[in-house]
Amino acid sequence: MSDEHIDEISGVSTTGHEWDGIRELNNPLPRWWVITFYITIVWAIGYTIAYPAWPLLHSATTGVLGYSSRNDVKNELAAAEAAKGKYVAAVESKSVSEIAADDALREFAVAAGGAAFKVNCTQCHGSGAQGSKGFPNLNDDDWLWGGKAEQIQQTITHGIRFASDPDTRLSEMPAFGDIITADQIAQVSAYVASLSGKVRDATLIQPGAKVFAENCVACHGDNAKGNRELGAPDLTDAIWLYGSGETAIGDQVRAPKQGVMPAWGARLGETKVKELAVYIHSLGGGE
């Protein structure tokens, strides 16, 4: 008796289904393939029994093996804390200069300080500590209060013009717009710009030097090299916090900007401040 569901070309039986003249052949999977499917089903059931899998109302099944990836993370963090414990203790007990002089300890402090810098300092100083207008570059060798490790530590600890810290770094440049005339401001701005080779009107330099001598040398010095005891910047090195050129200099003379840096000592603790100081000192401009 003939079977009407046998494909004439392939000789394989069909399912009886047909779409637009196309018939579906009835080709069962090879037995090994079916067995593989059954094995994966059994393996999946076993996995859900052995490991956390099924959600409950407020938790999930824990599995007969009691495995927990959260516990793995906790254990790894605990191991990391234990491994760095001796270094943390050494940082706590040593000065920043002693830390910098110890190769292994310096490497640890630079790594830890770099991580702290990314969290706390990049918002102002940039990810590469390159700074921006109003925020100093920490890679160069231009320092208002000194670039030795201890001096950097002091600045980080107590901040700059941070009102709530009695030991904060403090420098107040007078607003000369209320002290000297506009012409004198233009003259002294031209003189200061000329110290680093930038000046538009050379006729202003000589009278500007006189204005400088009468009003500015007390803080910036006769040679305009600044005074770290007062936080007065070097005006000869062509490094400018608020912009170069006579216009920017004149704006600062007229109504100086007084930037504020937070005191990080109370926030981060002495150990983390030391690590930050060593890291910043290592950037290339440390003295």
Q: Where are the domains of the chain?
A: 1-67, 76-158+268-281, 176-254
* pLDDT above 80 (res 8): no
pLDDT at 120: 98
Of 13 and 271, more confident = 271
Average pLDDT over all residues of the chain: 93
For residue 90, pLDDT over 90 is answered with: yes
Amino acid at 172: E
Task: Domain 76-158+268-281: give its CATH code.
Answer: 1.10.760.10
pLDDT at position 123, please? 96
Could you give the angle at the alpha carbon of 193 between the alpha carbons of 189 and 197, nearest 5°? Answer: 160
Q: Is the pLDDT of residue 129 over 70?
A: yes
* pLDDT the model gives residue 103: 95
Fold of 176-254: Cytochrome Bc1 Complex; Chain D, domain 2 (1.10.760)
**pLDDT range class, residue 4, cuts 50, 70, 90:** low
Query: Is it true that 76-158+268-281 and 176-254 share their CATH fold?
Result: yes
